[in-house]
Amino acid sequence: MTYVSKSLLAISIALPLAFSAYAKPIPDSASMDIHFELPAIQTSMYARPYVAVWIEDQQRKSVRTVQLWVGKDEWLKDLRSWWRKVGRYDRELVDAVTSATRPAGEYRFSWDGLDDAGNRVEQGTYTFYAEVVREHGGRNYIRQKIQLGESSMTHQLAPTKETGTITLSYLVND
């Protein structure tokens, strides 16, 4: 291998590492407001749904579990996608974010742009996930790519059998 090819190889390895070291976090003022609706479903065996809402990075790694509504620990596994990615690996996180199931209605909550370890996430493409499962009912798995950066954006997700409209509003305040 010649000196020139060794130098090019070294540069081709070092350059991506240098750029990743300069990745910018999202602005300190940025957050994402989530308007989440559970529709009233008329059925003789209605049970409140189990709900998991989380954010993943481009490598499909969970960065933050935003909401987790379950009745008992034994039902966590019913949220199959969330459980396989996050729940079965981090008992402490499950205990920290779990709350009771909720009746039909409109809910608002916010993600502060921090990962589960409390660090500000970097600017880039992420995916919003919501998994809604109802005993004696349906199962919906919803995902939406989102771009987190210097500009605000809004996405409105269509209703499903188990959810009403979901609105994601990424806000960057001055």
Express each pLDDT in 41-97 by its tens digit: 888 888 888 899 999 999 999 999 999 888 766 677 777 788 787 777 676 767 667
More confident residue, 44 or 16: 44
pLDDT at residue number 17: 47
Q: Is residue 38 part of a domain?
A: yes
Name the domain count of the chain: 1
Query: What is the domain-level CATH number for residue 137?
Result: 2.60.40.4070
Q: Is residue 84 part of a domain?
A: yes
pLDDT at residue number 137: 77
Q: Is residue 44 part of a domain?
A: yes
Q: Which domain holds residue 85?
A: 24-172
Q: Is residue 18 part of a domain?
A: no
Where b means 16+ CB within 10 Å and e means fewer, 17-28 reads eeeeeeeeebbe
More confident residue, 129 or 47: 129
What is the pLDDT confidence band of residue 138, given thresholds at 50, 70 and 90?
A: confident
Q: Is residue 105 part of a domain?
A: yes
Q: Using DSSP, state whether 17 is helix, strand or coil.
A: helix
**With pLDDT > 70 as the criterion, what percentage of the chain qualifies?**
79
Q: How far is the first Cα of the chain from the last one, in angstroms, to the nearest whole number? A: 53
Output the six-digit token pair for 3: 């000196």
Residue of 23, 156, 139 whose CA lies nearest to 81 = 139
Output the six-digit token pair for 36: 């989440």
Q: Is residue 132 part of a domain?
A: yes
Q: Which amino acid is at 49?
A: P
What is the pLDDT confidence band of residue 5, given thresholds at 50, 70 and 90?
A: low
Interval 159-171 mean pLDDT: 95
Q: Is residue 95 part of a domain?
A: yes
Q: Is residue 106 part of a domain?
A: yes
